Amino acid sequence: MSLTTGTIHFTDKKDTYISNSLMRELNIDETKPIKLKLGEKRIKTKIKRVRKKGKHLFIPKSIQQALKLPRKGQSYISLNQDDEIELGPLIGILSLIHQRTLHLPFGKRTYRIKEYLKGGSNKAFYFAFGLSDINWTDETVTAYFIDSRNQWKKKVVPLPDVIYNQLKSRSSHKTKSMQMLLDHFKKHNKSIFNWGFFDKGEMYQLLDGTLEAQNHLPETHISTSSQEIKKMLEKHQFIYLKPTRGSFGRGISRITYHPKNGYFIRFRKINKNHLLRFTNFSSLMKFINQRKTHKNYVIQQGIRLIEIDKHPIDFRLHLNKNGQNEWVVAGDAAKKAGRGNVTTHVEMGGQVMNSLDTLEQVFTSSQSQEIYENAKRTTIQLAEAIERKLPYLVGELGFDIGIDKQGKIWMIEVNSKPGRSIFKHPSLKTQSSDQLRYIFDYCFYLSNQRNTRREVNRI
């Protein structure tokens, strides 16, 4: 496949005109009729040369309207295996729609979506949409673009070639529209990535026994029977009880066992931290069973994390696939737990800090650098192991890792749809821009791969 960037123009002519430079770049035979392609829409046209410096494509307005080509200007242009001039690609960010308005088409997520779109709007047809924006009668979507003035523009375009799935709701994945979208993408060999949600228990089972994870997983059990909890407390002295489908640290309890002083449980409820003591195990279990607010939980070995001012520290490493289909650490930060908090989540009073600066408050400078690089290598290896095990495409992962006082790396959790809260830290400005670019680059990689193979892609 020949690929380049060029400038698209709209004209009142009947034929399509291509500059000499673009004609040579794409290796086009002007004696043959050719098809212009956008998404799954194709229009046959005659090709003529035009003497104009640079790489230019002049498309009749009638074809532009038939293809539903959303804009003129810079774009990738390629000649695919079927000798079609392919424009774009069309890359869509699928998001929930909540209280849509003219200026906030994606409600409170509008600003975040706009950040993503800035990463590639001048290279492809990069837009956002919701499931309700799809018209299945003609297989189009009402797409929301940002223009050169950073304003929202609404255009009807063909269904995208690649989708970055930003739906944060499990229930939305079970809708009829989502199933139709998956069926369409399988039929046309297109790609959706970040499809699924991770269940905490399933993720530990998935990684258990893999070479990459064997030294980095805390002991974890899906069974939360009283016998298992007692066994884990006697073995590790403190454990965590976590809802398998919880988020933002909600519903997590830390349970500690002191042979002489009894059992202590720390948890957060209605924005307040609580610490209770029980003299015997049976009274502890009675309280736990009464308090459970989720259907399923896991028990996890407690790790003695490094601390600063007696506040536990863990680390978030945000991983993305890049344009070469490789895992990279797009951003990383330390998180310091708030006073009395069970977790380090920012939503619960956690503080985001620079990773290396934080490590250097605990270890020597040379030790800190070694541990920091080891943490990045370890999470990349874990991401590769997860990717091999899953039946769908993964292009982004958020790892919460712990580092104990000996410098050992522990995988606490992994998130399939990580937020970007760590990128608000002033020291992560460059990493924030890089992460947004990685999303676009991976989308473009997936689109490019589609044109160089025939087998059905994973969703």
- Can you give the pTM of this predicted structure? 0.91
Count of Cβ atoms closer than 10 Å to residue 372 Cβ:
19
Could you tell me which of 314, 357, 355, 356 has the C-alpha nearest to residue 336?
314
Does a structural domain hold residue 452?
no
Q: Are residues 267 and 319 located together in one domain of the fold?
A: no
Q: Are residues 239 and 256 located together in one domain of the fold?
A: yes
Q: Are residues 111 and 79 located together in one domain of the fold?
A: no
The amino acid at residue 123 is K
Domain that holds residue 141: 90-188
Measured distance CA(300)–CA(262) in Å, rounded: 20
Does a structural domain hold residue 194?
no
How many separate domains does the chain show?
4
**Please, which residues bridge with residue 221 across strands?**
299
Q: Are residues 80 and 101 located together in one domain of the fold?
A: no
The amino acid at residue 168 is K
Does a structural domain hold residue 458?
no
| Whether the Cβ atoms of residue 412 and residue 401 lie closer than 8 Å to each other | yes
Measured distance CA(378)–CA(401) in Å, rounded: 10
Q: Are residues 96 and 167 located together in one domain of the fold?
A: yes
The amino acid at residue 367 is Q
**Please, which residues bridge with residue 102 across strands?**
none
Q: Are residues 266 and 140 located together in one domain of the fold?
A: no
User: Which helix (H) or strand (E) is 94 found in, with range?
Assistant: strand 90-94
Q: CB-based burial of residue 43 (10 Å sphere; 0-12 exposed, 13-18 middle, 19+ buried)? A: buried
Measured distance CA(197)–CA(168) in Å, rounded: 9
Q: Are residues 112 and 254 located together in one domain of the fold?
A: no
Give residue-wise pLDDT tens across range 51-89: 999 999 999 999 999 999 999 999 999 998 888 999 999
Pair type for strands 262-269 and 272-278:
antiparallel
Q: Are residues 205 and 349 located together in one domain of the fold?
A: yes
Does a structural domain hold residue 260?
yes
Show the tokens assigned to 435: 């992460």
Measured distance CA(69)–CA(274) in Å, rounded: 57
Tens of pLDDT along the chain (459 residues) come to 688 999 999 999 999 999 999 999 999 988 888 999 999 999 999 999 999 999 999 999 999 999 999 999 999 999 988 889 999 999 999 999 888 988 999 999 999 999 999 878 778 999 999 999 999 999 999 999 998 888 999 999 999 999 999 998 888 888 898 999 999 998 988 999 998 788 877 888 889 888 889 899 999 988 778 999 999 999 999 999 988 876 666 788 999 999 989 999 998 887 788 889 999 999 999 999 887 766 688 899 999 999 998 889 999 999 999 999 999 999 999 998 867 566 666 655 578 999 999 999 999 999 999 999 999 999 999 999 999 999 889 999 999 999 999 999 999 999 999 989 899 889 898 999 999 999 999 999 999 887 664 433 455
Q: Are residues 167 and 232 located together in one domain of the fold?
A: no
Q: Are residues 438 and 315 located together in one domain of the fold?
A: yes
